[in-house]
Structure 1
Amino acid sequence: MFQDLDATLKALLDDAAGPAELQAADVSFDTPDKDYKPAQATVNLFLHEVTENRTLRDEARVMERVGDGYTSRMPPLRVDCTYLTTAWSAQAGALKAAEEHHLLGLALRWLSRFPIVDDRFLRGSLKNPPQLYPLPTVVAQTQEGRSNGEFWSALGIAPRPAFSVTVTLTVEPFDQVEDLPQVESIQITSTSIPDPTLAGRVLDHALTPVPAVVVTVVETGAQTTSARDGTFIVPGLGFGVYTLSVQAPAKPVEQVTVTYAADHQTHTVVLSGP
């Protein structure tokens, strides 16, 4: 994943439409420590921070149409990958500083042209399968109260001109995908608050209506039979918790506990097993 982002940024910096000096420079992702001494003009992008972007976090599951049904999966993570960008010259003295500053400025101007990374630059797993969201970039931004002094000290070198490049990736950490059937119909059942009735519908394991099911209220002995569309009605009950004994043709008896109230009059009973 990160190596594919490296390759993507390298492709962006090597683009034929970019400045000639930038195309001619090497692009490195090595750690720019005290032993780092490139032999030619180099743009170094050091990946030094990876954090979840909580602002872009989405708690909603991802739904996709697949054939005659749908798939549902947990939302992905949005991850900020921050590179420290520096320029390096193999020359000496004033020429070294001049080349580094010029190259760093070219890199800053060129990368700033891409608030979203073009698909043509994407490499590896960032291209296939395609990212769920485009890859936004933020250039030359620093977090408030943060200093690079400790960073340069840890690398054992003197501070040098640099700017940050942050690219936000979509990361899929969850493998579980739930298959859901296509919605074939919607049934709306009305109830009455002043004249309530315990009602419901009997469905099999495939959510198909089951007719001729004997539904018995265990506590009162009241009994009814489901209609062709699986619906049933048991009138004359007071609000409360009841146990429904459900007897489908040629099936064992099943029991379901329901809470019958003014705002909870209709109950769906799903039979187990094929």
Structure 2
Amino acid sequence: MFQDLDETLKALLDDAAAPAELRAADVSFDTPDKDYRPAEATVNLFLHEVTENRSLRDEARVLGRVADGYTSRLPSLRVDCTYLATAWSAQSGGLKAAEEHRLLGLALQWLSRFPVVAERFLRGALKTPPQPYPLPTTVAQVQENRSTGDFWTALGIAPRPAFPVTVTVTVEPYDEVEELPAVQKVHLRSGLVDDPLFRGVVFDKSLVPVAAATVSVDGTGAQATSGPDGEFAVPGLEFGSYTLTVRASGRPDEQVAVTFAADHQTQTVVLSGA
């Protein structure tokens, strides 16, 4: 993934519309330490920090549509990849500093034109399969209370003019995809607070309606038989907690605890037996 992001940034700097001097420069991703001495004018993009972008974190599962239903998976990870951009010249003295400053300024101006990396620059896994979100870019923005002094000290060289370039990519760390059936039909049932009706639907463990099941409300003597769609209704029942005994042909009897209330007048009973 990171090598594809390197190639993407290189393609951006090599674009035909970029300044000619910037296009003519080499683009390197090597570590700019004390042994780094490029033989030609070079823009160095050193990837030095990879962190999750928590402001873009989404806890909701991602739903997708397929021919006969839906898929559900855990959300993507949004990751900030921060490069440090520096310019290097093979000349000496004042010519060296002038070329480096000019080249660094051109890189800053050009990269600042792309708040989002255009699709035509994307390479490798960033292009196929396509990223689910655009790749935002921030240029020359430094976090508060953050100094590059320790960075240059760790590399063993004197501080140089530089600016950060951060590109946010999407990572899919999870392979598990749950497949869900499509909704076939929706039943709307109304209920009245002053005239409640206890009703429900009996399903087997595969969520197939169970017809001709006897549903008894223990301790009340009330019972009903489910219809072709597994539906049943028991009139005259007061709000409260009850235990239902469900008897269906070829299945063991099952007991289910339910609560009948003004905002919960319809029950779903799923039988666990075969």
Query: TM-score with structure 2 length normalisation?
Result: 0.94
Kept in 1: contact 2:251–2:273 (CA 8 A): no
Aligned to 2:73: 73
Say which is worse superposed, 246-255 or 113-122, in terms of deviation. Answer: 246-255
Aligned to 1:248: 248
Distance 1:98 1:273 in 2: 81
CA drift at 1:273? 5.9
Aligned to 2:100: 100
Is 1:191 the counterpart of 2:191? The answer is: yes
Inter-CA distance 273–28: structure 2 relative to 1 (3 Å threshold) = farther
CA drift at 1:13? 1.1
CA drift at 1:221? 4.0
Aligned to 2:179: 179
SS of aligned partner of 1:63: strand
CA drift at 1:8? 0.9
Instruction: Calculate the aligned-residue CA RMSD, in Å.
Output: 1.6
Kept in 1: contact 2:44–2:88 (CA 8 A): yes
CA drift at 1:241? 2.4
CA drift at 1:209? 2.6
Is 1:226 the counterpart of 2:226? The answer is: yes
CA drift at 1:253? 2.3
Any idea what the Cα deviations from partners look like across 1:163-194, whole Å, max 9, x if unmatched?
11110011111221111111121111211211
Amino acid at match of 2:79: V
SS of aligned partner of 2:114: coil
Inter-CA distance 170–273: structure 2 relative to 1 (3 Å threshold) = farther
Amino acid at match of 1:144: E
Inter-CA distance 139–273: structure 2 relative to 1 (3 Å threshold) = farther
SS of aligned partner of 2:116: coil
Amino acid at match of 2:151: F
Distance 1:109 1:221 in 2: 82
CA drift at 1:227? 1.6
Within a 5 Å distance, the mapping from 1:1-274 to structure 2 comes to 1-272=1-272
Kept in 1: contact 2:252–2:273 (CA 8 A): no
SS of aligned partner of 1:5: helix
Inter-CA distance 273–4: structure 2 relative to 1 (3 Å threshold) = farther
SS of aligned partner of 2:147: coil
Say which is worse superposed, 99-108 or 254-263, in terms of deviation. Answer: 254-263
Distance 1:43 1:254 in 2: 73
Distance 1:273 1:27 in 2: 66
Any idea what the Cα deviations from partners look like across 1:43-101, whole Å, max 9, x if unmatched?
11111111111211222211111112111111111111111100001111011101111
Distance 2:23 2:172 in 1: 33
| Percent sequence identity over aligned pairs | 73
Distance 2:53 2:258 in 1: 43
CA drift at 1:229? 2.2
Distance 2:190 2:175 in 1: 40
Amino acid at match of 2:259: T
Kept in 1: contact 2:13–2:23 (CA 8 A): yes
CA drift at 1:16? 2.3
CA drift at 1:238? 3.2
SS of aligned partner of 1:125: helix
Distance 2:273 2:162 in 1: 65
Distance 1:57 1:7 in 2: 26
Kept in 1: contact 2:44–2:85 (CA 8 A): yes
Amino acid at match of 2:251: K
Say which is worse superposed, 253-262 or 45-54, in terms of deviation. Answer: 253-262
Distance 1:164 1:241 in 2: 63
